[in-house]
Amino acid sequence: MKIGNKIIIKKDVLIQKPKGTIISSIPGTDSKDYLVKIEYSQTLILAVKESEFSRNIKKKSSVLIKNSFCIERGALGSIVDILPRSRYFRPYQYLCEFTGPFCNIKLSEKEITSWDPQGKNFALLNRVRLVEDLPEHNLKKGMEGVIMVVLFKPRLAYDVEFCLTPDAKLPYYDTYVLFPEQIEFVSELP
């Protein structure tokens, strides 16, 4: 994997009661946004608004007001740096950037996979299209949906949400688990 490659995270990263150290303010803002370094099992660098944390001046640390913070399995990110291997840690580690919420996190090769829509590796919130009829679910070839969950075990699959009544005033949505060969990539959602 190379710097700039888009990747999909293969596990949920959940941090309970996050604490960290402010490492800098974010340039281009009115100094109300900061980068906070959070230590848990891995290092996480998170963009935080001033209103989202309280400071402890003596310990030079900050506590996020949110009780928890999560990057969901299947989230789309990109590699921003490849970290050097240490004597004790042989596999590469990658500094990966995610946008919703903005953060950088160190992940190993086994925790990520390449985002490759042509090779049927889709991410959360990718818009996809059915390539075959599924009469048991009343789904027709060509219907478009959005990936809501990415499942990696026991086999790669996607929980895709379809609008089943697009013309109604109150549309009806339902989700179905589909395999990569049943769908094709349409676009990324912004």
Domain ranges of the chain: 6-114, 117-188
CB atoms within 10 A of CB 103: 22
pLDDT, position 146: 95
**CA terminus-to-terminus distance, the chain:** 24
Radius of gyration of the chain from its Cα atoms, rounded to whole angstroms: 20
Q: Distance (Å, rounded) from C-alpha 159 to C-alpha 169?
A: 25
Choosing among 1.10.357.10, 2.30.30.50, 3.40.50.1950, 3.40.50.261, the CATH entry for 117-188 is 2.30.30.50
Given phi > 0 = left and psi -120 to 50 = alpha, else beta, which region is 4?
left
pLDDT, position 31: 54
What is the identity of the amino acid at 129?
R
pLDDT, position 65: 62
pLDDT, position 142: 94
Q: Distance (Å, rounded) from C-alpha 56 to C-alpha 190?
A: 36
pLDDT, position 37: 72
Q: Which residues of 90-101 are buried (b: 16+ CB within 10 A; e: fewer)?
A: eeebbbbbbeee
Dihedral of the CA atoms 162, 164, 165, 167 (nearest 10)? 50
Task: Tell me the three state secondary structure of residue 138.
Answer: coil
Q: Distance (Å, rounded) from C-alpha 7 to C-alpha 159?
A: 19
Q: Distance (Å, rounded) from C-alpha 125 to C-alpha 178?
A: 15
Q: Could you list the mean pLDDT of each consecutive 10-residue stretch along the chain, which spans 190 residues?
A: 90 76 65 67 68 61 65 90 72 80 81 92 94 92 94 92 81 90 89
Name the residue with tokens 């004597």: 87
User: Over the chain, what is the mean pLDDT?
Assistant: 81
Furthest-apart CA pair in the chain: how many Å?
64
Q: Distance (Å, rounded) from C-alpha 175 to C-alpha 163?
A: 9
